[in-house]
Structure 1
């Protein structure tokens, strides 16, 4: 990579497959994706470290064209930097490297899209994004509230990701969509603060539309934990939660977000080996396609 090779930190490993239609070069690209193959804080079933490779490997099995957004990946210039070089172990060094990597991508005038890996990596990405966009809006699609102060002895566990993000972003600028699992304390907090955006499967995303309407034009970061989907759609995830959502529901979310300024995103918690059918990986690749397109719609906002 021409520009990335000028910078020794972060270090990306390009030995993995490449996401369909992506480039390895950064010239004329306004979007950069990278994988973070880490699942060191997974609290139930591990395997999310295999998510980035699986998404890339199956990406050629879906069409490059999206009828909903009327966009084609072949018409979008974007870079696949490969996987971030990380050490397995404690999450803090990984989060630090994620921040460095996202800073690097923003410094090139590009928007970052992270492919995880588990949800703790979002902390590093938000640490980076908030430096560039102090008035950032954060949207979480997730089955779980992720509001624990600490879990299994770590404040940077994937069950604590939103608590850490709330230390950087004020509560009124955080929207947690369709959360259906959490402790009594977490769910009470969600309702009291009005961060919980209710969403009914099979219906338009009216409540999200209404919640975001006063924030039109503000920068938005979207984090997608794949366990937001029902296990019948994505079973390959570490902590599946019945009662989730369908692809049509995700499309309803996209319908709302395509009219907003998305400046960064991630997809996390895909554990492909837990779904021998491979369907979860295909859905993950299609989610990634939608995120690439959302980020590309307003390409000129970073430079």
Structure 2
């Protein structure tokens, strides 16, 4: 009788031992999930509205700065419902970016502003893709302070320059070209202590172009990439990684969208609400009536350790 009573215990132990490796493998293979929150179509009547290529969102998700590829910057308030979904974006101010002499930048080669990053002290950094450069703005209504331009940047192909721009909590400005020059990796340029250096690269893919970047509240770099398929439309991808002095580590793909799922997403902002890290992306409508300005938000659900 005692042997029969022991059988369920033995059987349970065997099942646990058999399931153990499978459970461990499942835990090792756990991946973060992307929870879709909402898409807001943003419209305003101003002639300079549209063409948004960069976005920054405040730490509490209530304020925004956006930049267009025609050298305009605007800022304002984000209104949300009780579930945290965007109800409206209200512009509170806007300015045409200036050169270092205080002259308004015209659309085109000199005014092709693409990347936006804001330091913890409020200093604004903008990357330009026509004449490849990065400028600092202490006041969006004031003249630019150009950062030095490395000789290597002259080799970048026109319209394939710096769309992605980010800044770390330590004040390092990071940028990378839209296209991987060798088709395999994106060189990361870092501005630190008054000088640019190219300390490492990010693995790339010839099908994907780097169009936006931001440092998240977790200290990791988030990279927004685009795949343009001509008549089939746009696809988007978001990757994140830890940055070390020797290069990126733990690179993971968080999101890959379907063709025509969203418009031409070019700007990305990463922040945190009470439930986790959020990603806010904005589309560039190229000032075309067949496109639209979309603000798309996701929340990252990381696996429990």
For normalisation by structure 1, the TM-score amounts to 0.33
**Structure of greater relative contact order (alpha carbons < 8 Å, 6+ residues apart):** 1
Higher gyration radius (CA):
2
Greater helix proportion:
1
Greater strand proportion:
2
